[in-house]
């Protein structure tokens, strides 16, 4: 039996409207109908001006990504009735962190420009005699990254991208790992150096949203962590991100907690740290930062140091 479902769509035509507005529709929906099928029906029976993008209808082209009841998703693999049961209605908006061109359509040019920045193709090393022999483990390392369908959902929920439009972004970082993690790639170090620059992989705040909302299980954050680990192994450490990680590791080993003052100094250097003093004082006043002199070292620091020792021994084995 069909259920009458309410759809609320954020509409906007920059050529005709000053501001976006909400438009409501109702539709009889059967179990199994996707949001994309509902939109197609609405756009043919109710409102032919409604703009949205789609192609494959099978969750493989990435073009129908939009905000569905507050979160990014693919319209073609989201069930209307699931959303209706969850929220009592289906609210559709364009992807966030993107410029709207019309209704649910967004301008993907910045997305592709970000991809371009990471050189999105293999630069192969010389083929060994007998050809490449790629192990299952080596293939698995880049397997998830290869599942990316370039839908832009991760960029839409990225905190860093929201405040820094120059950030490389999770989707392009996933693509970068696709090549850095490929045994055939010749320019791994060059790529890692480039990704360690400002607006690169170290600017990710690890909010985990990209991993949470990726419709293909690509796990962009885990990919970013792999890029960072690889850069550290390559001893690419002269940037604030890598310095911050080293300062954090050192701080916990030394005092068993985050020594914010020392970490700031080691990450930013003396001059830039001076500018952080008012912020540090505010944190101190609000109890967000243990006093470095009153609480120098935690109790049982030896237990923490044992963990460090064990990790070092495991690494050496």
**Contacts with ligand SF4, residue ranges (CB under 6 A):** 148-154, 157-160, 170-171, 174, 204-210, 214, 216, 218, 220-221, 224
Q: How far is the CB of 150 from ligand FES (least distance, A)?
A: 10
User: From CA 256, how far away is CA 259, in angstroms rounded?
Assistant: 9
Helix and strand numbers (H, E) in the chain are: 14, 7
Taking CB within 5 to 8 Å according to partner kind, which of ligand FES, ligand SF4, none is near residue 55? ligand FES
Question: Which CA distances in Å does 55 have to 39, 75, 76, 99?
Answer: 13, 11, 9, 20
Nearest CA to 193 among 236, 241, 246?
A: 236
Q: Which two tokens stand for residue 48?
A: 């032919």
Q: Looking at 9, 29, 62, 223, which residue binds ligand FES (CB under 6 A)?
A: 62
From ligand FES, ligand SF4, none, interface partner of 59 (C-beta below 5 to 8 A by class)? ligand FES
By beta-carbon proximity to ligand FES, the closer residue of 68 and 204 is 68
Residues in region 238-277 near ligand FES by CB under 6 A: none
The answer to whether 159 and 207 are in contact (CB under 8 A) is yes
Task: Name the nearest CA neighbour of 177 among 209, 214, 140.
Answer: 140
The secondary structure element, H or E, covering residue 139 is helix 136-146
Least distance (Å) between residue 271 CB and ligand FES: 49
User: Tokens in use for 135?
Assistant: 């192990």
Interface with ligand FES includes 54 (CB under 6 A)? yes
Of the candidate spans 7-15, 17-25, 59-67, 288-296, the one that interacts with ligand FES by CB under 6 A turns out to be 59-67
Cα 209 from Cα 254, distance rounded (Å) = 32
Q: Is 105 in the site for ligand FES (CB under 6 A)?
A: no
CB of 62 to ligand FES, least distance (A): 5
Q: Residue 40 interacts with ligand FES (CB under 6 A)? A: no
The residues binding ligand FES (CB under 6 A) are 54-57, 59-64, 74, 76
């Amino acid at each position: 039996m069909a259920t009458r479902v309410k759809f609320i769509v954020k509409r906007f035509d920059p050529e005709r409207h000053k501001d976006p507005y909400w438009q409501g529709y109702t539709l009889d929906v059967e179990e199994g109908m996707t949001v994309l099928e509902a939109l197609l029906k609405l756009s043919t029976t109710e409102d032919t001006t409604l703009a949205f993008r789609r192609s494959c209808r099978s969750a493989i082209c990435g073009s129908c990504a939009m905000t569905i009841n507050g979160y990014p998703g693919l319209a073609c693999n989201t069930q209307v009735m699931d959303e209706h049961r969850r929220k009592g209605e289906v609210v559709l908006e364009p992807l966030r962190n993107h410029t709207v061109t019309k209704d649910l359509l967004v301008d993907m040019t910045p997305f592709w420009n970000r991809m371009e920045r990471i050189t999105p193709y293999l630069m192969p090393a010389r083929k060994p005699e007998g050809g490449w022999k790629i192990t299952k483990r080596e293939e698995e390392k880049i397997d998830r990254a290869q599942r990316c369908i370039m839908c832009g959902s991760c960029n839409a929920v990225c905190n860093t991208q929201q405040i820094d439009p120059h950030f490389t972004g999770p989707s392009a970082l996933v693509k970068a790992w696709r090549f850095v993690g490929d045994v055939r790639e010749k320019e791994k170090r060059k790529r890692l150096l480039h990704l360690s620059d400002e607006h690169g992989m170290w600017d990710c705040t690890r909010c985990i949203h990209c991993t949470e909302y990726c419709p293909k299980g690509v796990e962009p954050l885990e990919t970013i962590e792999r890029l960072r680990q690889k850069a550290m192994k390559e001893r690419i450490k002269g940037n604030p991100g890598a310095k911050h990680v080293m300062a954090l590791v050192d701080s916990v080993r030394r005092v068993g907690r985050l020594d914010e003052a020392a970490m700031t100094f080691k990450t930013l250097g003396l001059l830039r740290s001076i500018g952080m003093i008012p912020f540090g004082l505010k944190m101190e006043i609000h109890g967000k930062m243990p006093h470095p002199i009153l609480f120098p070292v935690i109790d049982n620091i030896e237990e923490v140091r044992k963990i460090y020792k064990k990790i070092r021994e495991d690494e050496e084995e």
